[in-house]
Amino acid sequence: MANCEHTFIAIKPDGVQWGLVGEIIKRFEQKRFHLVGLKFMQASEDLLKEHYIDLKDRPFFVGLVKYMHSGPVAAMVWEGLNVVKTGRVMLRETNPVDSKPGTIRGDFCIQIGRNIIHGSDSVESAEKEIGLWFHPEELPRLHHCTPSWATEQDSISKIK
């Protein structure tokens, strides 16, 4: 399937602490995405520094790494049709004040520094992040992606 993708989603320590792991998984499953990897873990500082390397020159970098290291994280890999872009729409803005109700951050966040969730912003960053957080043997070779009968594009092409 042309747009079958994988994305990396991490529920940050505040989201775990607030008990939102199940609710967030439920939202992704309701969008018909497939969970193909899940780890509940305490991320090392080295992993977090590598994950946020593009922010290393920002004044909040040290605090972000410290915060992300302060508690467990639920690291996930999701698969599906346009999952990267759709996942970002589901999360919404980094600053929850700018996020509308009905989105994850709009419903559950109040501060930019405690915005409960991370999601890959491109297919390329998803590949990099998945490689940082998961070893290949931790991800089953499931290719659930949306069956051809379930998407309009494929259904229409078969009718013609």
**What are the residue boundaries of the structural domains of the chain, listed by start?**
6-138
Residue with tokens 């957080």: 133
92 labeled part of a ligand binding site = no
Of 51, 118, 143, 144, which is the active-site residue? 118
E strands present in 24-160: 34-41, 73-81, 117-119
| Pairwise CA distance, residues 60 & 68, whole Å | 12
CB 56 within 8 A of CB 49: yes
Nearest one of 1, 3, 2 to 83, comparing CA atoms: 3
Q: Encoding tokens for residue 79?
A: 């698969």
- In this prediction, residue 152 has a pLDDT band, given cuts at 50, 70 and 90, of low
pTM of the complete model: 0.86
118 an active-site residue? Answer: yes
Sheet of strand 73-81, all strands in order from the earlier edge strand to the far edge: 34-41, 73-81, 4-11, 117-119
**pLDDT tens digit sequence for 88-110:** 999 998 888 898 999 999 999 98
pLDDT digits (tens, 9 = 90+) for 53-82: 999 999 999 999 999 999 999 999 999 999
**3 labeled part of a ligand binding site:** no
Domain 6-138: give its CATH architecture.
2-Layer Sandwich (3.30)
94 is in an annotated binding site: yes
Q: 95 a known binding residue?
A: no
One-letter amino acid at 153 equals Q
- Give the residue among 64, 54, 28, 59 at the shortest CA–CA distance from 132: 54
